[in-house]
Structure 1
């Protein structure tokens, strides 16, 4: 039985319909990411779950109880924002304990819970400091502790890492995931960062123009995208035009090289789409000219031209790895099973 149910949610602001017939079932303890570009409706969905926005139509249920029109303080949710939103005039301990104080928790019990939260986020000795005395990553951890202190039934995260630098962002996202798994709390995480969503989620909801284009595991979102939008939005995707040589047999031709897809195709022309890691250099295959080489540490990204179409592929940075030089003439092979077929145009 699903713990959180979003059923046929719609939300309009005037004439602008920003969420369209949105449905999602979330299991208890699951970590779900809402992923998509700016303006796709992901934050509006989160705000409806939190109670900051009321759906124009549809229902929100938690443990089979409808909460669609309950006030935020009646929903038992913890919220973490991008901007930290800490009270500057309160100490770390006072910030963490703010919700407990509002709830009327006795001082002794409140102090014990605050220390438990500070231990959980790895800041056990910083309760007496003020927010301005903390780094950005520490402030966001305090905001997380404040959200978790009242023992909410759900944790809602609205792009909490986007204001942090790259290294802190990776460290904090891992800590959020560890804490979420330790507590077993149902979590909804809004982000536009694909890497973040891939790293922490049990499932990802890829949103496009107010609707859910695909709801699946990170692996399925990346390897078997359900729509062209998902395929193009998530990760890097190479798209190569091909002529159809035999539609029924699924044979196509690129730069004079024939590829058998193993399934029928439609039309006289199609687009072959593949991730960078699907390509490998070989003695035969698609002729290509290397146009750029970018060192990325463990990987080297190689840009190439295949019959006038730019392609990017990756090779591992190892002692026995051949890194082609710019201008080199090479051949690329790709397994048909790694190719996605899209409509031309």
Structure 2
């Protein structure tokens, strides 16, 4: 049996159902991210695991124990919030040791554990400072140490990096992942930031309107989206409306250019899609008029128009490759591009 099981969870507030039949099996030591837009239900699921919300239906099992009816302090769960939620009148060391003190851990043992946690988060010399004397990133690391100090079975992180600036976010998310791997603790991380989820997760659950649209590894979510929503929400996606000419061979026409996908399709219309880095330029192919181009260091980003719709394509920068000019006609190679089939209307 999996270490953490979310079995047919549902949650309603009044007549509004915000989580619909949510199922997930998480292995011990796995790092799972819940990814989705605001209002999709990801934080509600997290709060049900924590015990702050009770499921309308379903159950939660941790290491073989049904904890659905237990209070938060009975579940052995550590939680880090978006707001640091540190006690301003307590020192860093006292904040980290607060849960241990409440649990009745002896002072000597508590002191050793606090020292261990401050070493773990890289703040061994700041134990006597107060939260207001720390940066935002340091405060969030203290909140992480406080959550980990009682040795929880599961760690829950509710958008813990959203209040930090971009550079600190990247550094801290990497540190969180390193600590999680070091401790081997089962972790659920809630975020609406795609890059965060893709960079640190073992698996990602993409949520939409209270359901899990797709669960998979970061590569699966990005390269093999299971639904139109996942394809559009995770990363940038270019869409091309096309006509199926031969369903058996997958021959289609896009903006006057015919080519074969070499896979069977339904007859009628089909929506093809490709990531910006999946579009290949060539001397001939689908014609596109350049709208603009940006130099992003290692990447050149080109915006172009195909049949009235704007697309984006990326190509690696090279000193010999100049940026195309607005109004210039470029061609997308249909054979060399990585196409996704999003939807088919018979």
In the superposition, the TM-score normalised over structure 1's length comes to 0.97
The reply on whether 1:273 has 2:283 as its aligned counterpart is no
Q: CA deviation at 1:336?
A: 6.7
Aligned counterpart, 2:75: 75
Distance 1:148 1:321 in 2: 50
Measure the CA separation in 2 of the matches of 1:95 and 1:233: 38
Q: Which residue of 1 aligns with 2:51?
A: 51
- Cα displacement string for residues 287-334 of structure 1 (whole angstroms, at most 9, x for unaligned residues): 111101122222121100112221100011222334212221111114
Q: Is the 8 A contact 1:244 1:270 kept in 2?
A: yes
Q: How far is the alpha carbon of 1:40 from its aligned partner?
A: 0.5
- What secondary structure, in the 3-state scheme, does the structure 2 residue paired with 1:180 have? helix
Aligned partner of 2:120 in structure 1 is 120
CA distance, structure 2, for counterparts of residue 316 and residue 336 of structure 1: 16
Query: How far off its partner does 1:337 sit?
Result: 7.3
- CA offsets 1:20-77 (integer angstroms, 9 cap, x no match): 0000000000000000010010000000000000000101001111000100000000
Q: 1:336 to 1:297 in 2, by over 3 A?
A: closer
2:141 is aligned with 1:141: yes
**Gap regions ≥5 residues in structure 1:** none
Q: 2:35: which partner in 1?
A: 35
Q: Is the 8 A contact 1:60 1:66 kept in 2?
A: yes
- Give the match for residue 327 of structure 2: 327
Give the equivalent residue in structure 2 for 1:169. 169
Shift of 1:15: 0.5
The ranges of structure 1 where at least 4 consecutive aligned residues each deviate by more than 6 angstroms after the TM superposition are none
Deviations 1:138-196 (A, max 9, x none): 00000000000011011000000000000000000000000000000000000011100
Deviating more after overlay: 310-319 vs 178-187 = 310-319
TM-score in terms of structure 2 length: 0.97
Alignment length, in residue pairs?
Answer: 345
Secondary structure in 2 aligned to 1:55?
coil
Whether the aligned pair in 2 keeps the contact of 1:79 and 1:147 (CA below 8 Å) is yes
**Contact 1:42–1:190 (CA under 8 A) maintained in structure 2:** yes
Match of 1:179 in 2: 179
Gaps of 5+ in 2: none
- In the other structure, the counterpart of 2:296 is 296
- Whether 1:305 aligns to 2:305 is yes
Farther off after superposition, 313-322 or 284-293: 313-322
Offset, 1:123: 0.6
Please tell me the root mean square deviation across aligned C-alpha atoms, in Å.
1.3
Q: Does 1:249 align with 2:265?
A: no
Tell me the CA shift for residue 97 of structure 1.
0.5
Greater alpha carbon shift after TM alignment, 256-265 vs 146-155: 256-265
Contact 2:48/2:54 (8 A) holds in 1: yes
The answer as to whether partners of 1:261 and 1:336 remain within 8 angstroms in 2 is no
SS at match of 2:284: coil
Deviation at 1:247, TM superposition (A): 2.0
Partner-residue secondary structure (3-state), 2:69: coil
